Structure 1
Amino acid sequence: MASTRGDDRKSAHSAAAEATPEEGYERGLGSRQVQMIAIGGAIGVGLFLGAGANIEKAGPSLVLMYALAGVVVFFIMRALGELLLYRPVSGSFAEYAREFLGPFWGFVTGWTYWLLWVVTGMAELTAAAIYVNYWIPDIPQWVTAFAFLVLLYVANLISVKLFGEIEFWFSMVKVTALIGMIVIGLGVVTFGFSAAGDTASASNLWAHDGFFPKGVGSSLMTLQGVMFAYLAVELVGVTAGESEDPEKTLPKAINTLPVRIIIFYVGALSVILMVVKWTEFQAGVSPFVAAFAKIGIPAGAGIVNFVVLTAALSSCNSGMYSTGRMLRDLASNGEAPQFLGKLSASKTPAVGITLSVALMGIGVVLNYVVPEKAFGYVTSVATAAGIWTWVMILVSQILYRRQVGAGRLSASSFPAPGGAACSWIALAFLVMVTVFIALDPDGRISLYVGAGWAVCLTVGWAVLKSRVPQIALTAGEGVVRSPAHADRERV
């Protein structure tokens, strides 16, 4: 019996492997690049810049919010990992929603994840412009944002290998710098050197009006900003179709997530809040830059500012990569214009990337019109789109588990611990965060945008279905397949 299961599993993976080359992508992402992309996905502008506003709202309790959200994010990633090893494909979130919920949900998920990265790209460009203003305050934010947009666009058009290499070094800078910051911060707290040494202490985590200085409610309201900081950890799923050895590299990348969260989020923020009391941080200023300015290390704040600049560019680079792949996946399933599915000579979805970058240019306009509010607007919209993507991952995994239990599909070689139970817990948490977004006057704009986006997608689907009736076909026994997969046998 065990042997039969093993043969079934091998057959399923073989089918997946055979399907991937048809996508036309080059498997140009090696193990070190996938690993570093996964690590870099857990370190972004949400931590480096957004944490300043959240510290203002929650004080030291923000560390607990990052830890709590980190547990939920790990549940989401293990659910995704189970699906990825069942069938590793590029554009995986939409593919799984399409298969287990139906073509409409794949359509919505694909386009929403595309929107997520277009909007996130705007946020990262805004952050990058703010960081450059640290050195050159007279340069308009929109000019810097536009320059970075063009540079990263060109890099993404050349090849997936160049994207992977750029992302590898961006992430290397972030990881190395964060570890260095933690070590220096612990040195300041332990040995008392530097200008901050007299006041640096672990007691800063509770000494100034307590661990929850603004109350538990205010701390919970920061969860939308915290969840934005975790956006991009699911990027590993988008790389599945272009990874050299997905069955080996993807589980390793996902299983190291808890360590990354503990070190780079909980650990780094705890150290920063020990070095400088929370009342000295403010929105719009990176707490890491502010802390190193307080420490007084020569050029320290400038070095940290360079690091957070690379973090913003890294995330924007990833966004351009993701949007092109998602549009191609939609086009291959008849859910987007076919010209968006074309690959260039370098095997990159150049048309899809170009369209996405053009729309990211709206971020340049926002930096011209409302530079002080641009970051807050786009991050709230990105968070809402990210929550939708995570919900689809969790629901797809729950339905996949049902199919496995019924004997209709073979089990994944990377099952999520706790089965579907952890996915239900994560779903409840995401619903709670959505409620907090609705209660926050600044974040509520994302729900208005979301409602408008839902109307656009519903109308778009109705038009698509009227022109291509077979797009809504479903196939057997509770597993819904798109036309592109209707003829694929399941073991």
Structure 2
Amino acid sequence: MSNSQPRGKLDTPLKQKHLSMIALGGTMGAGLFIGSGAIISEVGPAAIVTYALTGLLILLVMRMLGEMAVANPRTGSFTDYARDAMGNWAGFATAWIYWYYQMIVVGFEAVVGAELLQRWIHGVPAWVISVVLLLALTLVNLISVGNFGRFEYWFAGIKIAAVALFVLAAGLFVVGLWPSARIDFSNLTEHGGFAPHGILSLFAGVVVVIFSMVGAEVVTVAAAESKEPGLAIKRAVNAVIFRVLFFFVASCFLIVTIIPWNSIAEEQSPFLLVLQTMNIPYVADILNAVILIAVLSCLNIGLYSTSRMLFTLGARGDCPKWMASTSKRGVPVWGVLSCTVIGYACIAVGYFFPDTVFLFLINASGAMILFVYLMICISQIVLRRRNHADGSQLPFKMWFFPYLSIAITAVIVAILVSMLFDPTSRASLLQGLVVVAIILVAFAGKAAYQRSHHFDSNATAKAAEVALVNTYDRDRASLQ
């Protein structure tokens, strides 16, 4: 393209308010508004504890990532830290695993968005609406990084406001201050007790909940395109605990208090059932609009994060180098366009094979984020021991190192192992392992080709690192 340059230079227009909203609203997708029904029906009222435990796990992983990102903010974020800690294979694998995960999310969210819009738009095929949604957000991401930040700011703001209003109204209902309401906490213990399926169900539910809570890690990628990345990352990590407690734990508590847990079907939105119980008019249309915005937000974030993964991979020679070229506005154009092509392919697969191949892709993406989080944990332990053993030089650091870091790593491994023995998640783990194996084979093939052609991959990676760091530092200096 004529307006692109061979050596990429990302713009840095994202502001603190954009990054704060990305951090707060990044995880609030359809998984919260609809997926919460599945976990409540599986665990019962004790889902409150499951959300709290999962939120704690996400918080600690984000703290570990935050330590590395504040000390060394980079566009590749956790993929670069994995490369630094364990070698080129780890950076390559982590980037492609995350890219795969987010690309499936992009296609899935486009399909879900079309289904939501069909409530109001009749006579238009769902695949047409999916394509239009993906095209619209592609243009948002292509015009400028600032556009991404502005759209996500408003998307996240609406989601946060919607959940805040839900918590406020439902809270008034629970304490008897809502019309025709009375104080009643019986639903927490009736219908089989607080944990009707036993204590072990609390931990089995973590496997389900963790997929609806991910997304905060995107802020460490986006922070590299802001003026004060360290400050942005600190605020984002600190905001995780409030987001988890308020949006997930509080919402779950109010839901299981107001309606019996065993009246919620897996495919139903418990938010809708609660609002119907409270006799709020036009509730179905209101919630449909909120979920649609949540879906568009996830689609927007998916396009952004995957294009930045390709930018980093291209700069390092792990994918075509033209992926690292940027427009005059500092947008990795080819990265964005390439991601949308895969998105359209996912929409087509979902259309032609709704119950076979597309379902396979969705299931295979399930374990991907756990693999990424495992790589983040290992990277933090290795880099901390190698570069900052006592932590005295770090402006932001993980608590109780190394004990807590090792414990969280062990917990993630335990979750992955537990998936093997759980019939509902075994397929997700096995399919995910197949994807990881394919990625590792691709890296081995790339390395063998480079050796046969006497190509110094370490020198190329080092040169790419210097170029990216110099570009990043130059951009920041020019804006200060």
TM-score (norm 2): 0.89
How far apart are residue 285 of structure 1 and its match? 2.3
The one-letter code matched in structure 1 to 2:438 is C
The one-letter code matched in structure 2 to 1:96 is Y
Establish whether residue 94 from structure 1 lines up as the match of residue 97 from structure 2.
no
Q: What are the within-5 Å matches in structure 2 for residues 229-244 of structure 1?
A: 229-244=212-227
Distance 1:297 1:374, change over 3 A: farther
Aligned to 1:40: 25
How far apart are residue 310 of structure 1 and its match? 0.6
Aligned to 2:105: 120
Aligned to 2:477: none
Q: What are the within-5 Å matches in structure 2 for residues 368-407 of structure 1?
A: 368-369=351-352, 371=354, 378-405=361-388
Establish whether residue 484 from structure 1 lines up as the match of residue 464 from structure 2.
yes
Structure 1: how far apart are the matches of 2:123 and 2:185?
Answer: 38
The one-letter code matched in structure 1 to 2:53 is L
The one-letter code matched in structure 2 to 1:484 is A
How far apart are residue 38 of structure 1 and its match? 0.4
Aligned to 1:424: 406
**Equivalent pairs, count:** 460
Q: What are the within-5 Å matches in structure 2 for residues 306-325 of structure 1?
A: 306-325=289-308
Aligned to 2:475: none
Aligned to 2:233: 250
Give 3-state SS (helix, strand or coil) of 2:336's partner. Answer: helix
Aligned to 2:167: 182
Structure 2: how far apart are the matches of 1:38 and 1:104?
Answer: 29
Structure 1: how far apart are the matches of 2:346 and 2:151?
Answer: 22
Q: What are the within-5 Å matches in structure 2 for residues 440-479 of structure 1?
A: 440-469=422-451, 470=455, 472-473=457-458
How far apart are residue 32 of structure 1 and its match? 0.3
How far apart are residue 486 of structure 1 and its match? 7.5
Distance 1:370 1:191, change over 3 A: farther
Structure 2: how far apart are the matches of 1:112 and 1:471?
Answer: 24
Q: What are the within-5 Å matches in structure 2 for residues 122-201 of structure 1?
A: 122-135=107-120, 140-191=125-176, 193=178, 197=181, 201=184
Aligned to 2:90: 105
- More moved, 84-93 vs 425-434: 425-434
Aligned to 1:358: 341
Answer yes or no: is the 8 Å Cα contact 2:223–2:232 preserved in 1: no
How far apart are residue 130 of structure 1 and its match? 3.8
How far apart are residue 92 of structure 1 and its match? 0.8
How far apart are residue 456 of structure 1 and its match? 2.2
Establish whether residue 332 from structure 1 lines up as the match of residue 315 from structure 2.
yes
Answer yes or no: is the 8 Å Cα contact 1:471–1:483 preserved in 2: no
Q: Kindly, what percent of the aligned residue pairs are identical?
A: 30
Q: What are the within-5 Å matches in structure 2 for residues 21-40 of structure 1?
A: 24-40=9-25
How far apart are residue 473 of structure 1 and its match? 3.2
Aligned to 1:304: 287
Structure 1: how far apart are the matches of 2:306 and 2:364?
Answer: 16
Distance 1:423 1:482, change over 3 A: farther
Aligned to 2:473: none
Distance 1:57 1:142, change over 3 A: farther
How far apart are residue 86 of structure 1 and its match? 1.4
Distance 1:237 1:89, change over 3 A: same
Pick aligned residue for 1:221 from 204, 209, 219:
204
Structure 2: how far apart are the matches of 1:411 and 1:474?
Answer: 28
Deviations 1:71-105 (A, max 9, x none): 11111111111101111011111110111110111
Give 3-state SS (helix, strand or coil) of 2:286's partner. Answer: helix
Give 3-state SS (helix, strand or coil) of 2:14's partner. Answer: coil
Answer yes or no: is the 8 Å Cα contact 1:116–1:386 preserved in 2: yes
Structure 2: how far apart are the matches of 1:183 and 1:261?
Answer: 16
Structure 1: how far apart are the matches of 2:248 and 2:161?
Answer: 14
Give 3-state SS (helix, strand or coil) of 2:425's partner. Answer: coil
Structure 2: how far apart are the matches of 1:440 and 1:56?
Answer: 17
Distance 1:133 1:286, change over 3 A: farther
Structure 1: how far apart are the matches of 2:372 and 2:350?
Answer: 27
The one-letter code matched in structure 2 to 1:267 is A
Gaps of 5+ in 2: 1-6, 471-480
Deviations 1:294-316 (A, max 9, x none): 32211123212211111111011
Structure 2: how far apart are the matches of 1:417 and 1:222?
Answer: 26
Establish whether residue 439 from structure 1 lines up as the match of residue 410 from structure 2.
no
Aligned to 2:192: 209
Aligned to 1:13: none
Structure 1: how far apart are the matches of 2:122 and 2:193?
Answer: 36
How far apart are residue 137 of structure 1 and its match? 7.7
The one-letter code matched in structure 2 to 1:90 is T
Establish whether residue 264 from structure 1 lines up as the match of residue 247 from structure 2.
yes
Distance 1:406 1:223, change over 3 A: closer
Aligned to 2:474: none
Answer yes or no: is the 8 Å Cα contact 1:34–1:253 preserved in 2: yes
- More moved, 365-374 vs 76-85: 365-374
Answer yes or no: is the 8 Å Cα contact 1:224–1:383 preserved in 2: no
Give 3-state SS (helix, strand or coil) of 2:215's partner. Answer: coil
How far apart are residue 377 of structure 1 and its match? 5.1
Aligned to 2:478: none
Answer yes or no: is the 8 Å Cα contact 1:49–1:287 preserved in 2: yes
Gaps of 5+ in 1: 1-21, 476-480
How far apart are residue 126 of structure 1 and its match? 3.5
TM-score (norm 1): 0.87
Establish whether residue 50 from structure 1 lines up as the match of residue 32 from structure 2.
no
Structure 2: how far apart are the matches of 1:60 and 1:298?
Answer: 27
The one-letter code matched in structure 1 to 2:196 is P
How far apart are residue 220 of structure 1 and its match? 2.7
Distance 1:219 1:132, change over 3 A: farther
